[in-house]
Structure 1
């Protein structure tokens, strides 16, 4: 269920007993609620689908496996941050003799006789290949890179009718003050901090619905300098905070909403977790759903692509190997 591709319907049939045993027809929240009565603990043990773009009220209960994955495999952080991972990949590819073409926008995946045979770049250059691997957003790939005449399964209609994850509002910021030690009644922060709104179900319905921007929020606050001081100059702290928000299918004008939403989050952090935060800011920028759509080519600005509902999981999800170009 967790580390195998589902390319054929028989792959799905093999795990059907596990899906029944895990009562996958239930939502994660519904499944957790069978065992836990306390409202706060229900929130604590059911929010995890948000980490992969799912609504805990809709995501199939099989995603309680996230708890197991974290316990069995651990949660890891690369010293130097994500940039260090990118640099390591660059070194590895160089050692293997791989040439990486940067700033080379792909315009089309070329298909001949039912097989992907290469790519055409925006400047018209063609690169032939034995295999084509697309690591872009799946909806963007099908709707923009693979012409409709080659798609009989992943049609425009199918892709557009899928349920997509929420988006994110993310603020990256640095301070000239360290927040390692709590004080003055403020809680002690960890590397990873989950801050859940007391309004749980209603907030989730607004985030995953087509309404406006909620006035309250749940947050994830990341404080990497607690583990890795190299992420900021001496005496400084690095953070990012993210808030799940509706994707661009919702009626929200982010050109108008982004600034006030940023202010609300930073004021909340200052009042409850990071005293004198805004007086100590030395670096900051934020991204909203427009960034996910226009920079990351994510359909509707969704942060995690296709939602992990039961009928959009495993074999029902767009496959790792395209059904249209096997």
Structure 2
């Protein structure tokens, strides 16, 4: 067990600041939200992050006047941010500008049909009726069931700790009544006859790294989130939210340090007492919060500590989310060239369940693909130069842990060309003539940039036996004073889940010791 070395300790306590010190590892949105919550409780907070800007997966890159939003692109439950800001005596809407999207996204199929997801119930019913009139009644039933799962799964379970086995036992009857054992796809198939609508109302787990044919049907709650709260985009991207969070932390007297990589969590008598950076600097702490992936936290940051639950063997047996191939690109003079292409478009390949099986279960790089296309410049003028566009095209791919993983160093450009061909054929004709800036992220990038196990895009897959109590707890059982937040912990991935993990954290961390 590695202990604090007094000769290396950085005792950088500000003069006159005797507050208890909390160190947060990682400036992703979960880490920043945790820092805000702890700052509001009275802690002096230091956030340490290896990147050069806050946001983690929600950070951005700038190329030739284009801002590439690297990760999440939508805000589905603005209230979790408003509650977070209110807990810090701030007003979220004064710091961040949200734009409501309508439609939320358009789904297109190879047969030329399409579906536009809308917030207005009448408009949504009209979209369903246009494709399959017999499925309108199924939509109404599906949305009722979605709301019930939202009330239980998000407002109840998702906003309170689930670290004790008793917490799980109490809710098992409700899980059984709601058929949590049934998958999202299986549930959608019971309500919709048309295969296109089965896809349209079951693909949402892909947004948080889950196989729709395996993820618990509790996640149909996303359809209610969209209906109740809408889908929004933050001007400046999610990176603007991260920057606003850093400003709140600074106003609380906290500090966000970039280019500061944590190498190890340091323990003393079984309790977390600080961290050591990759440059050997040691920072003591009364509380340590890890926003790093739980796999990285336990296998690397606690590599010298005995572990009871999250052993290397258990982590090896864990089912991880899929990998992501993302092509970020800019185009010149195209703002009016593709008027039918909105903010979000989903291009389906010829297969749905078969492609999912190849990605999640077989670990096979298929010849076909489906794409999630983000065009923020139609909503946000700050995303691209005047008259130009900024895009990203995301393709789910196998993570690096399958047999015979893809050698992305060799195949990335070939795959990018395939993505471009699909875009030119189905969405953006003439794309090649307008391309400017270009950047590619592969599972290798996620592994190296975000220290994501197996290069996966969303940490641990949200299957039923990897959710709630079964997921890494927000309070660690491996070391006293160690807590976890973020996509890999309870309640899960996605902006609402990540921000809610910090709300749960605040209920678990004791109040700071007050100086005499």
Q: One fold, TM greater than 0.5?
A: yes
Does residue 1:25 correspond to 2:181, yes or no? yes
TM-score, normalization by structure 2: 0.61
Match in the other structure for 1:161: 317
Out of 263, 271, 275, which is 1:107 matched to?
Answer: 263
Please say if 1:312 is aligned against 2:453. Answer: no
1:227-256, CA deviations, whole angstroms, 9 ceiling, x for partnerless residues?
111211111011111000000023211122
Does 1:200 find its partner at 2:355?
no
1:255 and 1:147 map into 2 onto residues whose CA distance is: 29
Residue 248 (structure 1) aligned to one of 364, 387, 400: 400
Shift of 1:8: 0.9
CA shift in 2, pair 1:147/1:182, >3 Å: closer
Equivalent pair of 1:114/1:150 in contact (CA under 8 Å): no
Which residue is 2:330 aligned to?
174
The secondary structure found in structure 2 opposite 1:71 is helix
2:385 corresponding residue in structure 1: 233
| TM superposition shift of 1:17 | 2.7
Residue 56 (structure 1) aligned to one of 212, 221, 226: 212
In the alignment, does 2:455 pair up with 1:301? yes
Please state whether the residue corresponding to 1:165 is helix, strand or coil. Answer: coil
The farther-off stretch of 193-202 and 306-315 is: 193-202
Distance across 2 between alignment mates of 1:211 and 1:310:
21
Moved over 3 A (4+): 179-183
Q: Separation in 2 of the partners of 1:182 and 1:94?
A: 42
Return the alpha-carbon distance in structure 2 between the equivalents of residues 218 and 142 of structure 1: 34
Conserved? CA contact 2:447–2:454, under 8 Å: yes
Q: Which residue of 2 aligns with 1:266?
A: 420
The 2-side partners of 1:74 and 1:12 are apart by 30
| C-alpha RMSD of matched pairs (Å) | 1.5
Q: Secondary structure at the match of 2:188?
A: helix
1:109-160, CA deviations, whole angstroms, 9 ceiling, x for partnerless residues? 0112222111011121111111111111110111000135331111111111
1:214-239 per-position Cα deviation (integer Å, ceiling 9, x unaligned): 11111110111111112111110111
Matches within 5 A, 1:133-148: 133-148=289-304
Output the CA distance in 1 between the equivalents of 2:268 and 2:171: 35
Q: Unpaired segments of 5 or more residues in structure 2? A: 1-152, 481-516
In the TM superposition, what whole-angstrom CA distance separates every residue of 1:41-60 from its partner, at most 9, and x where no partner exists?
A: 11111111101100011111
Q: Does 1:287 align with 2:433?
A: no
The 1-side partners of 2:464 and 2:246 are apart by 37
- Name the counterpart of 1:36: 192
- 8 Å contact kept, 2:363–2:399: no
Q: 2:430 aligns with which of 265, 271, 276?
A: 276
Paired position in structure 1 for 2:476: 322
1:25 CA displacement: 0.9
Which secondary structure state, in structure 1, belongs to the residue aligned with residue 433 of structure 2?
A: coil
| Residue 73 (1) aligns with residue 229 (2) | yes
Question: In structure 2, how many angstroms separate the alpha carbons of the residues matched to 1:24 and 1:176?
Answer: 48
Measured in 1, the distance between the counterparts of 2:337 and 2:416 equals 25
Contact 1:178 1:236 in 2 (8 A): yes
Of residues 347, 355, 368, the one that matches 1:216 is: 368
CA contact (8 A) 2:350 2:368 kept: no
> What is the aligned partner in structure 1 of residue 107 from structure 2?
none
**Secondary structure of the equivalent of 1:150?**
coil
Q: 1:126 aligns with which of 272, 282, 299?
A: 282
Q: What residue in structure 2 maps to residue 7 of structure 1?
A: 163
**How has the CA–CA distance of structure 1 residues 148 and 21 changed in structure 2, closer, same or farther, with 3 Å as cutoff?**
farther
Structure 2 Cα separation of the partners of residues 179 and 21 of structure 1: 50
93-102 vs 296-305, which moves further: 93-102
Aligned residues: 322
Deviations 1:61-102 (A, max 9, x none): 111111112222322211011232232123222222212222
TM-superposed CA distance for 1:198, in Å, is 2.6
